[in-house]
């Protein structure tokens, strides 16, 4: 970071926006004291809290002053085996009475919809549930300043939407100032007082959401726009953006725009009709500790297909990927990989067939540099050094991490860690690529460009993506979507499923564009590209 001068008024909600690695998390660490007290480096400047210079205050003393933080990776902040104890940990360390601790923990868990998990083992929770526990722990402290670093990265869309929209309630009821680094703009732009754009460690713009997203700066730095703002910029020549569906409808009337309701839905992908099966699940059942996580699951995935598995936290998405990868074996039923039963496949056979990237990339990191992390699997296979270097450089360039090869994988941003983890899988050139929530903490331009490119470059591979990122799926060339809830397949089909109200019954949220087009009388439209072809205004142009 360089020459950051930033003022936040008491009671404001401020959105920090920028590409992965731009300095958003570093700015949060400066405010909470982790920089310079934990992270090494040169530091200069002052931090003022309500008129008091807290530059020399340790992170613990800043916590006492009312600065609470929620980090991107919940595992880093869960320090107890039971859910209620994890939420109580900070309060106990600050010396609150047992009665007050129990009261605050109860209120916080109810607020994040985790009350029923009060006495559950934290290790048994899904990644999204762990994120909710960490959010509850921060709220229980009743902070003056709440710092949120990608707080919804592991939440299902409905939980994320509820949480982001509830920030204004938290601000008003708890009288708290909120600073949030987040790549989900759609909800935050409706409640944020200010947006701060960060690029290469510098603040390059700040102002009200409408002012910031009416400019070209978000496009220039590659962070994208709220979906309705993006469509506004395409359709309206006056560059006046719209952030809500109701406001958008009024704008269409003002501009005398036409909606062509005879739009024909694109045909089903040829990949689904003509390919042989890469993955088949037949009546699969799986349990953890005698509790059924998957129940009677059956579906097929064709070779070369791009498939997304969607569903709420705890639905069984990660378990499905682990079954396909061979990490888990079904209790009942069969998992077939290219016609072979996963129970009979040896580890060395699976390595050439399936590559699995877990939700938390640090689970697979143990080397000193990014280069060594990516190269490790090739070294284990005794690939010649020159070929290792060539392959690592090729993958690093594909994922945009060439500049990180000499860095420690533990000291880079969350989005960069995900790309390094993905590179360590891709370097083995597997036929089936399994990606568990790979887009969290990654800016729009990076993830959209990457998945568009990976689909083009790896068109012969089968890609299975477990994700909550409904807005991204709406814009990608997805062949098939599988909706999972409570361990069962609810529905499967092409990405028109995203426009179906059925997903809202399972803690998912339809894309903003689908909601808008429904109100305009056109069903089944989920992407900005499609919407721009259907809505015609007096002056308009469409640019990808």
pLDDT by residue, tens only, the chain of 544 residues: 899 999 999 999 999 999 888 999 999 999 999 999 998 889 999 999 999 999 999 999 999 999 999 987 788 889 999 999 999 999 998 889 999 999 999 999 988 888 999 999 998 887 778 888 998 999 999 899 999 998 887 777 887 887 788 888 888 887 899 999 988 888 889 899 999 999 999 999 999 999 999 999 999 998 989 999 999 988 887 677 888 888 898 888 888 888 887 656 555 555 555 578 999 999 999 998 788 999 999 999 999 999 999 998 888 999 999 999 999 999 999 999 999 999 999 888 888 799 998 877 778 899 999 999 999 999 998 999 999 999 999 999 988 899 999 999 988 876 688 789 889 998 988 999 999 988 776 788 878 887 887 777 777 889 999 998 899 999 998 999 999 999 999 999 999 999 998 998 988 899 999 999 998 888 889 999 999 989 988 654 444 3
3-state secondary structure of 412: coil
Q: Is the peptide bond before 473 cis (omega within 30 degrees of 0)?
A: no
Do residues 414 and 25 lie in contact, with contact meaning Cβ atoms separated by under 8 Å? yes
* Integer Cα distance of 176 and 13 in angstroms: 9
Do residues 445 and 18 lie in contact, with contact meaning Cβ atoms separated by under 8 Å? no
Here the tokens at position 158 are 């409905």
* Integer Cα distance of 387 and 389 in angstroms: 5
Burial 9-36 (b: 16+ CB within 10 A, else e): eeeebbbbbbbbbbbbbbbbbbbbbbbe
3-state secondary structure of 69: strand
Q: Report all structural domains of the chain as residue ranges with CATH numbers, in order of start.
A: 13-226 (3.40.50.300), 270-493 (3.40.50.300)
């Amino acid at each position: 970071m360089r020459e950051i001068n930033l003022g936040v008024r008491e009671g404001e909600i401020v959105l920090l926006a920028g590409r992965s690695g731009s300095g958003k998390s570093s700015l949060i660490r400066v405010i909470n004291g982790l920089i310079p007290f934990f992270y090494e480096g040169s530091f200069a400047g002052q931090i003022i809290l309500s008129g008091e210079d807290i530059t020399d205050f340790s992170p613990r003393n800043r916590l006492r002053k009312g600065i609470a933080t929620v980090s991107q990776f919940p595992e880093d902040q869960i320090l107890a085996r039971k859910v209620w104890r994890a939420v109580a940990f900070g309060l106990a360390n600050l010396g609150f009475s047992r009665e007050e601790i129990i009261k605050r923990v109860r209120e916080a868990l109810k607020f994040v919809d985790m009350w029923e998990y009060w006495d559950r083992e934290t290790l048994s929770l899904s990644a999204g549930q762990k994120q909710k526990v960490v959010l509850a722990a921060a709220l229980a402290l009743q902070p003056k300043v709440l710092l949120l670093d990608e707080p919804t990265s592991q939440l299902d869309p409905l939980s994320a939407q509820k949480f982001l929209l509830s920030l204004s309630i938290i601000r008003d009821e708890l009288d708290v100032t909120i600073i949030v680094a987040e790549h989900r703009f759609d909800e935050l732009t409706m409640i944020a007082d200010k947006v701060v754009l960060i690029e290469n460690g510098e603040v390059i713009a700040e102002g009200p959401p409408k002012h910031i997203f009416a400019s070209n700066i978000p496009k220039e730095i590659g962070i994208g726009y709220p979906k309705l703002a993006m469509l506004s910029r395409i359709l309206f020549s006056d560059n006046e953006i719209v952030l809500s569906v109701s406001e958008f409808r009024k704008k269409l009337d003002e501009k005398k725009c036409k909606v062509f309701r005879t739009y024909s839905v694109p045909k089903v992908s040829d990949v689904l009709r003509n390919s042989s099966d890469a993955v088949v699940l037949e009546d699969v059942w799986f349990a953890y500790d005698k509790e059924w996580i998957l129940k009677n699951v059956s579906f097929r995935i064709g070779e070369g297909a791009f498939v997304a598995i969607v569903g709420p936290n705890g639905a069984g998405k990660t378990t499905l990927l682990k079954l396909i990868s061979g990490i888990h074996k079904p209790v009942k039923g069969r998992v077939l990989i290219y016609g072979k039963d996963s129970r009979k496949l040896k580890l060395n056979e699976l390595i050439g067939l399936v590559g699995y990237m877990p939700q938390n990339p640090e689970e697979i990191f143990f080397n000193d540099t990014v280069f060594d992390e990516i190269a490790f699997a090739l070294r284990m296979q005794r690939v010649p050094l020159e070929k290792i270097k060539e392959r690592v450089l090729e993958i690093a360039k594909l994922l945009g991490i060439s500049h990180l090869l000499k860095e420690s994988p533990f000291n880079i941003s969350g989005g960069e860690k995900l790309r390094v983890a993905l590179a360590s899988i891709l370097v083995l050139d597997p036929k089936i690529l399994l990606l568990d929530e790979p887009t969290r903490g990654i800016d729009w331009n990076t993830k959209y460009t990457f998945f568009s490119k990976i689909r083009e470059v790896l068109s012969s591979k089968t890609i299975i993506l477990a994700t909550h990122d409904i807005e991204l799926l709406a814009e990608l060339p997805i062949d098939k979507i599988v909706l999972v809830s409570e361990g069962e397949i609810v529905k499967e089909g092409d990405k028109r499923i995203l426009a179906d109200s059925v997903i809202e019954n399972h803690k998912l949220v339809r894309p903003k564009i689908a909601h808008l087009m429904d109100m305009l009388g056109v069903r089944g439209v989920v992407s900005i590209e499609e919407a721009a072809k259907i809505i015609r205004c007096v002056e308009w142009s469409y640019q990808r």
